[in-house]
Structure formats: structure tokens, C-alpha cells
Structure 1
């Protein structure tokens, strides 16, 4: 039996939770020693029921797990490994196992960008803007691959070819939400996708608050872009406060539900930020924020680009203000989109790419 097989078998044993697994491995020296220990020795460390379950896990076939891991390029990093991130290793509630696709390391500096799944267009834009600018000056962007703010945080980092880490609330062989399947390969290339849950684990609701301790644990600070008053985002904030991390929040419209959570965080002591420079200064990082350089543009493209702002404008309004036919304007806007300097929103609205 290999160590890999032993780790997987032990993690699948009924009743063996994270802390129990760590206690057993520390006591017996390795997962193989735990599984091969007789029931009497196991009972001296854990309950009779768990001791029985551990003895029975010897016969569990994990070949399919390992085959799937090999096909996806998944590495299993136990808490005893030198490859296990020091940022997590120092936490008392660190996960005993990490399933990893990509390159996981102790990123310094790093920041988690999190928020509502039901984010507004404004929230998505801000998440992407901050992620891009922070990635541009060398910060790793950590998030949870969820819909809304998380997704746009990952996208922003990737647009600058920056590092980003996605922490999943399901098995690493699954993509949740499914529409982010295209993002996974890009994240793996530019960072890592990680999960503490065994292969095949479904995205159960209870998994997400648990994984949030890893998001905060891997980060120097937390930026909350949008959140309702009952947002799951607050579990990440609670973990971060327990870990002594800095909390930043984007102030928002007091009439919007997705801003009530962030505004409440600010009232409770989170640091309000309106620019990336605010974060750089607060973290005392020696970084200079530079404006993104534009690619070469034609005269028509320059004219249209300069007319656009950081808020969405409908194509008909642009057509009137530029005295340009919609048919011609559509072609120019498409060219600007392909050059990644303009973004189209639903309903034929356009704005500058942040």
C-alpha cells in the first residue's frame, strides 16, 4: 500500500474527521501505520466505532480515485508534507489534505476578493478592476470560483496574466458552478485550483462556509466588494478576523441590498477603500499602480473609445453623441472588444474595460 492510497483510504473512513485524522497520523507516524494498526492500539487513541471503521477501510478500493487524479493532474498534499503551505500549516484548524491542480505555494503578497453571488453589474466591474490592478502589481488573487464577485475576481487576475487561486467547495474533479468550466484550465495555468474535499464530493451547502477558512488563510487581507446583510461572505470575514487579517470593503449605494453588507462591515470597523492604492498603502507594500497601456487604435477606434466612460452607455446613445451610424459603430465596438479595451454588457450597453 502506497502512502497516497493510505491517505485516501483513511480520509474516506467513516467518522474520521479532520482533527481525528491529524491526531492519528501524528500518533502513529504515517497514514499506513494508522491503517495497519490493530484495533486495540487504535482504541487507545479514538473511539471503538472509529477504530472499527479504520480497520475496515483497508479493503476500500481507491484505484478509481487515483486514476481520476492522474487524468486531471491532481496532486494530494497532506499536512505533513513540505509542500503544504505554511500559511495554512500554522492554523489550528488547517485541513489535513489538499487536492491540488496547478502550482500551490505560499504567495506573498496575496489578497482574497469575495462577495455576493448575485452581484450587480457595478459589483462585477469593481471586482474585475481591483483584481486586474492588484494582479498587475504582483498580488495573487484568492477567491472561491462562485458566481458573481468570485468569478470576476478570477477573470480580472487572468486578464493581467496574474496568479489566482480558486478554493472549491466540492471535489476537485467537479466544477461548480458548471459555467465556470472554461475558467478552470486558465486558473490552473496561472495559479492553482484546490479542494480539501475527497474526489467525487458534491457541492453541498455546508462545504462552502468550511472552505472559507482556506480562502482567508491563504490571503494577507480580504476585500469584500458586495454583500447582502445575510451573505455567506461573512463567514470568510469571521475566519479572517480570527486569523488577524485586514478587512477591506467597497462602500456602496445605501438603497441596494448588495451594498448593505459591505456598508455594515465599514460601520463595524472594516477599512473602506475606493481605489487599489488604498489597499497598497494599508498593507504597506512598495508598489506603484500604473495605468494599463492601450494597444494601437485606429482614429475611429480612438474616437469611440474616448467617448465611452466607466459606466455603461447604450449603443444608440453613442451613435447620437458621435453622429455615427449604428452599423459602422457596431463594427468599431466589436474591434475594441477584440482588443480587450471595451466591454459589452447585456442590452447592447458598452463601457471601457477596467
Structure 2
């Protein structure tokens, strides 16, 4: 009975501490850094909440201390908790088992995380980041890696941004696995807005996370803070596409400071969106050609799965086209054999094929309508990657 009572008391203490951290976070100017300062100085948020005015002023005479003193007496922590519950927003602190384990080890770990969805103890993640202005090649690579990592039971971590982030999340979902999206705003602000449907799909098995309380809009200065969490919760960071001046490289800097592994995907030498990746490779990042390059470096034993390499197994495409009973199947397969994730101009396709220009144009249109290829500006074509 004593052991049960002690356990119950400890759980109650954690919940009370979390409640007070939530209350502190609702005060303007008291973000994760200020809250860490309060906890470090007083020993806990609860003791800081109970501290005298003179005790609080020992932290300084800044305006945030004055505001804290003023607001503390007016706030009802229970009401703030109820408001979060109505928005279906949950919270977790490092003292709880389902707080991301790797993040807990960091000196600047958020003393309070907000999340929607599911967090389980012991989950291990790999971050996939890159350009918002992703090329078809980059999107295909991110989706492929997201899918294969998810199939290995790893959580795919990214930031819900346009481009590579979106592709990584979609790949993880296609792999029937978990993915976490870490936001640079409160969870009641989904950015970009066109990813609202994607966010809903993520919540079915994964989670949306933020260190910012509800009501905080996405601001440019918040995204570097978000990036340190993307790398912080993960074993390693994979950069799929990044220009030389890219926000993804901020995540890499965070990863290196945190002792995480950094991986990079090589890209076409003509693509400015791959210059940052090539620079990382020159600086010692691990080159990734398939998911096993990541798993072996991090000592994960790969599951026995039939992994599809990009552009190397067109059996699904053949089955899809065959099911449509198309009369031009042999010619369509000939066109597909020339295409990959690198853009190819229609004139190059005509030159390589045994067909006339008009035949190639018709076949390309048929393949587009079948969802097998994508047309890019300038009459260039790539395979439509299928997760």
C-alpha cells in the first residue's frame, strides 16, 4: 500500500507541476527560456508560482517579471487546462514517460510541450528536412525515404512546411507508419493552411507538436527554434534538398550541436536546390542512396521488407496500365523506360525512341492521364513517384 501511495503521490505532483507550467506559459513573455529560468532558480514551477514578490524580483526588474507578478494572481490554472482540453490540445513535460526521450537529454529541452495526437514512450525518430521549393526529384526522394523509414517502425519527423516536409510526411503515411510534425506556432495555427488535411491524417497515428502555447502565430523568428526540436527528437537528420542559404541548414547546425548524425541526398549537378546537400557531403555528412545507408549508420537492424528503389521497379506501373486495357501498352512502357526522377525534354524522348514526335506527344498525354508521369515547365517530363 505504501508503494502505491508513493506512486500516486508522485504522479499527482507531476500533474500539479505541469498545471503550473501551463499557467506560466500563458503569460506573455514567459516562453520556454523564461520558464526554464524560473524552474532552475526556484527548483520547480510550483515553487516559483508560490514565491513572494521579492523572491521573483531577484530574477531581475525586467518588464516580464512585473507582468508575471501582476498576472499570477489573476490566472486560474484549471481554467487554462480546460481551455486546452476544449481545443483537444494535450501537454507533456520531461518528467513524464511519453516526453520524447532524446529531447529530454538536451539542456534547452522545452519544459512543456503541447501536442495533438499520440505520443508513446520509447519512440525513435529520423528527421527529414529540405527546401520548400522542392523539385520533383526532391519530393520523390523524400516520399520514398519517409515511406521506407516508417515501414521500419521509425517515426518520421519534419515541420509540415511546403516541399520536402510535406513529401516526407506523406511518405510516412503511405508506409502505414507514424510521423510527427513540429510547428513554429501554437497548435491552433496550422501553417501552411493548405496542409490542414495532411495534419488531420498525421493525427490518426502520429502527432503535431509545439513548444508554443495556443494563440501564438507563425513568425519568422520562431522557425529556427522549431528546427532545434526537429533535430532534437531524432536520432539523425536527413537533408533531401537544400540551397546554399536554406533553413534546412539551420536544422543541420542544431543537429551537430546536439550530437545527431547528419545525412544528405546527392542531387543533379545543375540543380541549385542540391548545392547545400553537396556542401554537406563535402563537409562529412553521410551520403544516402537508400534507406539502409541510414539504418546501418544508426545501428538499426532493417526489417525484412521488399524495398522499392526509385525508378528501378516499374511493375506497379505496368499493372496499373494493363488494368486500363490500353491498346498502346508496349509503346507506353517504352516511354517509361526512358524516364526517371530527372527531367527529360520531349525532344530527347523522341530522339531515344523508335516513335514519331506526334506518337510520343500522344503517349506522354496518356501517361499523364494515367498518373504515371508529370509534366514540368518547358515540355520536360519525370516519373510520378508512387509511395
Distance (Å, rounded) in 2 between the aligned partners of 1:273 and 1:77: 34
2:56 matches 1:24: no
Give the aligned partner of residue 307 of structure 2. 291
How far 1:78 moved relative to its partner? 2.5
Give the aligned partner of residue 197 of structure 1. 212
Alpha carbons 1:305, 1:352 under 8 Å: kept: no
How far 1:132 moved relative to its partner? 1.3
Q: What is the number of residues matched between the two proteins?
A: 347
| Equivalent position to 1:281, from 264, 279, 296 | 296
Give the aligned partner of residue 38 of structure 1. 52
Q: Which segment is superposed worse, 127-136 or 15-24? A: 15-24
| Equivalent position to 1:310, from 340, 343, 346 | 340
Alpha carbons 1:100, 1:195 under 8 Å: kept: yes
**TM-score, with normalisation over the residues of structure 1?**
0.84
RMSD: 3.4
How far 1:256 moved relative to its partner? 1.9
Distance (Å, rounded) in 1 between the aligned partners of 2:77 and 2:335: 60
Distance (Å, rounded) in 1 between the aligned partners of 2:165 and 2:147: 13
Give the aligned partner of residue 47 of structure 1. 60
Query: Which 5+ residue runs of structure 2 have no aligned equivalent?
Result: 1-15, 309-314
Task: Look at both structures and tell me which one has the larger radius of gyration over its CA atoms.
Answer: 2
How far 1:105 moved relative to its partner? 3.4
How far 1:131 moved relative to its partner? 1.1
Give the aligned partner of residue 111 of structure 2. 96
| Equivalent position to 1:263, from 278, 282, 293 | 278
Q: Which segment is superposed worse, 342-351 or 7-16? A: 342-351
Give the aligned partner of residue 385 of structure 2. 353
Distance (Å, rounded) in 2 between the aligned partners of 1:305 and 1:7: 61
Compared CA separation, residues 202 and 118, structure 1 to 2 (3 A): same
Aligned with 1:104: secondary structure? coil
How far 1:325 moved relative to its partner? 10
Compared CA separation, residues 282 and 78, structure 1 to 2 (3 A): closer
- What aligned pairs does 1:41-80 form with structure 2 within 5 A after superposition? 41-44=55-58, 46-49=59-62, 50-58=64-72, 59-60=74-75, 66=81, 69-80=84-95
Compared CA separation, residues 353 and 57, structure 1 to 2 (3 A): same
Distance (Å, rounded) in 2 between the aligned partners of 1:42 and 1:257: 52
Give the aligned partner of residue 146 of structure 1. 161
Aligned with 1:198: secondary structure? coil
Compared CA separation, residues 256 and 310, structure 1 to 2 (3 A): closer
